[in-house]
Chain A
Amino acid sequence: MAQTAESAPLPNPLIIPLGDHGLLVRFAIALSDRANLATVAFARRLREQMPEGVTEIDPNLVSVLLKYDPARIAFDQLAGEVRLLIGSPDGRKGARPKRYRIAVIFGGEEGPDLDEVAAALKLAPSAFIAEHNARPLRVLTTGFAPGFVYCGFHPEHLELPRRSSVRPLVPAGTVLFAAGQTAITATSIPTGWYVIGQTDFRNFDAERDPPTQLREGDEVLFEAAKK
């Protein structure tokens, strides 16, 4: 099971300026389940109690960027409010994340790296697909490119580093695999991840506001699409 954001106290983050309009709250240097859960939980608290002067929040894998208007609040004051928010009890423990089912065509032309990935993990392709889809994943973060989502974490026996070379462009809806994660593209981008499949799901529509559906902390259950 993907864990929901814990109600336990959040780990003590680093609070650091990012220029003169940004404050970054970073829960770890390295990516870990714990640091990402803290990030997701902190972003949720922020949305419930947005400090005055904050113009935008941008959760990442292990950190949240708060953009602020320095005419309304200074860094030190905002940092104090952030510490208060981190130390305060979470009123919404056990809130259930939204769950999305995403159908993927694995392998073949849609997923040219699937066989290589399965072989590297010493699994038959069908066994890899079954393992890949066996448990829901958490949306770790969004926004590397429009609508791009990172989902994780797979168990250790499904971990593979990125490919050594970069594909110049993969289309929207490409399902990527590396570093214990599965990612979905919503626009065409270059990538160094393995291409394991393709989905009709598009997490980006510029004509809608907000333009994306998935948010950090949501759950994604991948399914094999019927060809």
Chain B
Amino acid sequence: MTALRILRAAPLTTLQDAGRFGYLRHGISASGPMDRAAFQRAEAWLGGAGSTAIEFTTGGLSLRVEGGSIGAACDGGEFTLSLNGEKLEWPARMSLKDGDVIDIAPGPAGNYGYFRTSHEVDVPLLLGSRATNLVSRLGGLQGRGLRAGDLIPVGSRVQRRMSMHPRPAMPAKGPIRVIWGLHADLFSDDVREHFISEPFVISHRIDRMGARLEDRAGVFTAAEILSLVSDAVVPGDIQILGDGTPIVLMRDHQPTGGYPRIATVVDADLDRLAQMRPGSEVSFRPVTLAQAYALLKAGHA
């Protein structure tokens, strides 16, 4: 049996496949990779990979291959990677054999990275997916984050099915694009205007559920925040908590929310937002649905 032995893992290290879709009405959000494009690039480096990646964070990751040989690739953000103590370029494609140790430490950019292999990660499918949902404690390895000592078996080798040259990550800058949200009309013109003219700062309170923002300009300080009938939430919703704190809801979002949502980050920009480190400035710019669709198309081209 070939397996990955976790030697060191930060608390929010999880197994993630593309996501567990279709269970919102049962109270389960889809989870899946925080940076989907990076998750897909890690597969493309291999020309085809098992459905499930290890998603790691700036807390780093160290693992040892046991029992066999596998192809592996890493992508997402800019981390520092070494194989048996020898530094490799990032992103990376590797041939790993029994006993090889890879070590990942934070680099200059990004919050999330992906380790994928040419073999299927052998944990049970739960409701059609291997994605870990930390809020519902479902999926992945016993519904929890990975920790030192865990042994993750890998099964059959995946057929190569695509070229082994992913499109490199596009360095995207500029405001995060949003569509005005469900409750935008509950905020005054003044608040809405400041929301798109003033920068916010990514706080240290970021995780798979959501990214809290610092509102240094006080955009929402005086806004009256109503408590509403709870309603459906989607990833990217920017919700304003009772104390005026904005929070961008992410992949492990709560299925419903009762706080007002001023806007929703367009799908094409959600990966980029997920990778912004605490302390980074973020500005929002409203776009039309047609523009959002065009951004999606450009990303898939």
Contacts and interface: CB of A to CB of B under 8 A. Distances in A.
Interface size class of B (residues with CB under 8 A): 35 or more
B23 A20 contact: no
B182 A24 contact: yes
B28 interface: yes
Interface string B161-189: 00000000000000000010110000000
A210 B28 CA distance: 12
A60 B256 CA distance: 8
Interface string B103-141: 000000000000000000000001110000000111000
B179 A17 contact: yes
A158 interface: no
Given A143-B255, A146-B26, A147-B26, A17 B230 contact: no
A145 B237 contact: no
Contacts of A148: 27
B289 interface: yes
Contact of B26 (A21, A67, A74, A204): A204
- Which interface residue of B137, B232, B289 has the most chain A CB atoms within 10 A? B232
B229 A30 contact: yes
A173 interface: no
**A interface, by DSSP: helix, strand, loop or mixed?**
loop
A31 B229 contact: yes
Contacts of A17: 179, 264, 289
Contact of B289 (A20, A57, A62, A211): A20
B25 A70 contact: no
A214 B59 CA distance: 41
Given A61-B230, A74-B289, A20 B26 contact: no
Contacts of A186: 27
B231 interface: yes
Interface in B222-249: 228-232, 234-237
Interface residues of A, number: 44
A94 interface: no
Interface in A185-221: 186-187, 204, 206-207, 209-212, 215
B256 A144 contact: yes
Interface string B10-25: 0000000000011111
A143 B267 contact: no
A71 B292 CA distance: 12
Contacts of A215: 25
A210 B236 CA distance: 26
A20 B22 contact: no
B296 interface: yes
B27 to A, nearest CB: 4
Contact of B27 (A30, A31, A204, A207): A204
A29 interface: yes
Nearest to A64: B232
B267 to A, nearest CB: 5
A145 B234 contact: no
Contacts of B182: 16, 18, 24, 26
Contacts of A145: 27, 136, 255
Contact of A26 (B24, B126, B128, B231): B231
B234 A60 contact: no
B25 A142 contact: yes
A198 to B, nearest CB: 19
A206 B138 contact: yes
Contacts of A152: none
A24 B293 contact: no
B266 interface: yes
Contact of A147 (B27, B234, B265, B292): B27
A220 B101 CA distance: 56
A143 B229 contact: no
Contacts of B127: 206, 209, 211
Contacts of B25: 57-59, 142-143, 215
Contact of B256 (A19, A20, A143, A212): A143
B255 A144 contact: yes
A25 to B, nearest CB: 10
Q: Can you list the 9 inter-chain pairs with the closest CB atoms, starting with the nearest?
A: A65-B232, A19-B264, A20-B292, A58-B24, A143-B27, A146-B27, A212-B26, A58-B25, A22-B234
16 contacts: A19-B237, A19-B267, A20-B266, A22-B264, A29-B229, A56-B22, A58-B24, A144-B254, A146-B28, A147-B26, A148-B27, A186-B27, A206-B126, A211-B23, A212-B26, A215-B25
Interface of A: 16-22, 24, 26, 29-31, 55-63, 65, 67, 70-71, 74-75, 142-148, 186-187, 204, 206-207, 209-212, 215
Given A58-B24, A147-B27, A186-B27, 16 more contacts: A18-B181, A19-B237, A20-B264, A20-B289, A58-B255, A60-B232, A65-B232, A67-B24, A70-B296, A71-B296, A143-B24, A143-B255, A144-B27, A146-B27, A146-B138, A212-B27
